Chains A and B, each alone.
Chain A
């Protein structure tokens, strides 16, 4: 494993990613109310529910990749709508406004097909929220592939989210932080490409961690 010994000129710097959810006060008890709020909600709220829901879940029981589809399934009891909302690909849609328009299309079309407006079961209204999140230097660095792998394995999952999910929203090249560093510092375009191929929006963070570690170990994860 000569490549594992190669040392970077600049280290990979792990960050701590911390934050809190902030309630907006807006709620939807049925799908029509949901549609109304989605149309006017600030972009940060759409962003929060599309992306950060994954921070709430650790294990593989990650049936729905965003808060909207999870609500459709568990609160409205509407698997058809849940399917459609699960199929959103917000990281490939370019921006939150594109995702908002897609959600509105899906919900409007769905309302056209049902006889009555779906209502949430009692106690399960959709509460729209945003987040106040920030990154802090952790002081932890990786200079080699082995050290990067160890950091991914050990660091809190919120850090993985920052380096993998948030990185795509920060950068212009649709890369995660790990891929960028592996390419630029270790010349490992092969690993970078395999990381980029992960269909990460479908995974819980723990599942994602296993996949990333598997790739860095040179072991392909299979479903």
Chain B
């Protein structure tokens, strides 16, 4: 891969002035020591976002330290349960698992030395208890990427004990927010248009990569890219696909990888393979998390991209598909509803039958599918690209550090 993109590289996509705005905002934060903590550097949307934010914040003059909490299998088993509980599953967290969770974070607090910062940002529940064990001498922000709109109450009660100590929290959309005393800011996530997963690919490269993956393109492809996770409902998608195929020739590709912090992936993959049952029109591709160019090629080769989620934090794979000008048919869950607008950028569905119906609808309306794809791309350009996301975070840092100032007649007072 070529050198990582710098800010100026984004001007061709979003316009020079937007890049200048980032520089002006960041000039008020020069030298700010920002510490970011999450649970993995590889795999999943959060790690992907942070891997792009950190170099850009650094280029903008902030002093950024990106740390991850480390833990053993019992810790990640506990955090996966907490994650599922936040998404509403009635999970059972034993006292031993709770202890594994808290004690692992306590150990991380000693290792990470978080006292030396101007702002600390903690992502998701895995490291959330750090605030109990680290010295707190600056604003702490909790960033929740999860659809916690209907959490399993005991899990939220446990987590709330730590979250309420933060100075602010950030959610992807209003539906995910909880009753908290501090301000809850809304910042949707984003994709990087210049990353390997999203940059332009030539038709030849798309062809070559699909051939290498042994994906037959003799029929239109329906593609779902996501971790093998029950909330993404891949098994339901296979059943819907079989309804579609009774009427329209097409093939289904389910592509995904695991994340370091997701121990359930292998189990769900087995369930998917079992449901697919060797069907020659279904490709189930378990890809390593760094196969970004293959994912890019699969999305570009799709006639329609599907995201059959029943719960979703935001659904960055939807954003990726829209950026590639693909119509999207997706479950009306979480952040997907911000992106998929019925009859504009795709369709929101609520059932297997609805999913099958809309897939058939679009397979038979290629021109409409193309128009929807183009509209989706423009929506992403305005709302869901990395540059907007960086701007929101700079804005938040200005707010929590009290550096917003005020203006009269265009001049700072």
- Interface of A toward B, CB cutoff 8 Å: 12-16, 18-23, 25, 27, 56, 58-59, 61, 74, 121-125, 127, 129, 132, 134-139, 154-156
From B179, B337, B344, B391, give the contact of A124 (CB < 8 A): B337
Determine if B24 and A136 form an interchain contact, defined as CB atoms under 8 angstroms apart: yes
Roughly how many angstroms separate A21 CA and B173 CA in the complex, as a whole number? 10
Determine if B24 and A138 form an interchain contact, defined as CB atoms under 8 angstroms apart: yes
Residues in B with CB closer than 8 Å to A20 are 185-187, 392, 395-396, 399
Q: Does B175 contact A (CB under 8 A)?
A: yes
Roughly how many angstroms separate A15 CA and B406 CA in the complex, as a whole number? 11
Residues in A with CB closer than 8 Å to B177 are 23, 25, 127
Determine if A18 and B25 form an interchain contact, defined as CB atoms under 8 angstroms apart: yes
Residues in B with CB closer than 8 Å to A121 are 332
The chain B residue sitting closest to A17, CB to CB, is B407
Determine if B184 and A136 form an interchain contact, defined as CB atoms under 8 angstroms apart: no
Q: Does B178 contact A (CB under 8 A)?
A: yes
Known contacts A20-B392, A125-B175, A129-B174, then 13 further A-B pairs from the complex at CB < 8 Å, ordered by chain A residue:
A16-B21, A16-B24, A16-B25, A18-B395, A21-B174, A21-B186, A23-B177, A25-B184, A27-B174, A59-B375, A123-B333, A132-B185, A134-B398
28 A-B contacts, Cβ less than 8 Å apart?
A: A13-B409, A13-B410, A18-B395, A18-B398, A19-B395, A20-B185, A20-B395, A22-B186, A25-B177, A25-B178, A27-B174, A58-B382, A59-B382, A123-B175, A123-B333, A123-B348, A124-B337, A127-B173, A127-B174, A129-B174, A132-B183, A134-B405, A135-B406, A136-B28, A136-B412, A138-B21, A154-B15, A156-B17
Question: How near does chain B come to A158, taking the closest CB pair, in angstroms?
Answer: 9
* Contact of A137 with B17 at beta-carbon distance under 8 Å, contacts A123-B333, A127-B175 already known: no
Minimum-distance CB pairs A-B, first 8: A13-B410, A127-B174, A23-B177, A134-B404, A135-B407, A58-B382, A21-B186, A23-B184
Residues in B with CB closer than 8 Å to A132 are 183, 185, 399
CB proximity to A under 8 Å, residues B320-364: 332-333, 337, 342, 344, 348, 350
Residues in B with CB closer than 8 Å to A155 are 17
From B16, B378, B399, B406, give the contact of A59 (CB < 8 A): B378
Question: How near does chain B come to A29, taking the closest CB pair, in angstroms?
Answer: 11
Question: How near does chain B come to A77, taking the closest CB pair, in angstroms?
Answer: 11
Residues in B with CB closer than 8 Å to A25 are 177-180, 184
The chain B residue sitting closest to A138, CB to CB, is B24
Residues in B with CB closer than 8 Å to A61 are 344, 375
* Contact of A154 with B17 at beta-carbon distance under 8 Å, contacts A21-B185, A25-B179, A127-B175 already known: yes
Q: Does B171 contact A (CB under 8 A)?
A: yes
The chain A residue sitting closest to B336, CB to CB, is A123
Question: How near does chain B come to A71, taking the closest CB pair, in angstroms?
Answer: 12
Determine if A13 and B174 form an interchain contact, defined as CB atoms under 8 angstroms apart: no
The chain A residue sitting closest to B168, CB to CB, is A22
Roughly how many angstroms separate A139 CA and B23 CA in the complex, as a whole number? 12
Q: Does B1 contact A (CB under 8 A)?
A: no
Question: How near does chain B come to A156, taking the closest CB pair, in angstroms?
Answer: 6
Question: How near does chain A come to B40, taking the closest CB pair, in angstroms?
Answer: 26
Q: Does B383 contact A (CB under 8 A)?
A: yes
* Contact of A18 with B406 at beta-carbon distance under 8 Å, contacts A59-B378, A123-B175 already known: no
Residues in B with CB closer than 8 Å to A22 are 183-186
Roughly how many angstroms separate A20 CA and B186 CA in the complex, as a whole number? 7
Q: Does B18 contact A (CB under 8 A)?
A: yes
Question: How near does chain B come to A30, taking the closest CB pair, in angstroms?
Answer: 16
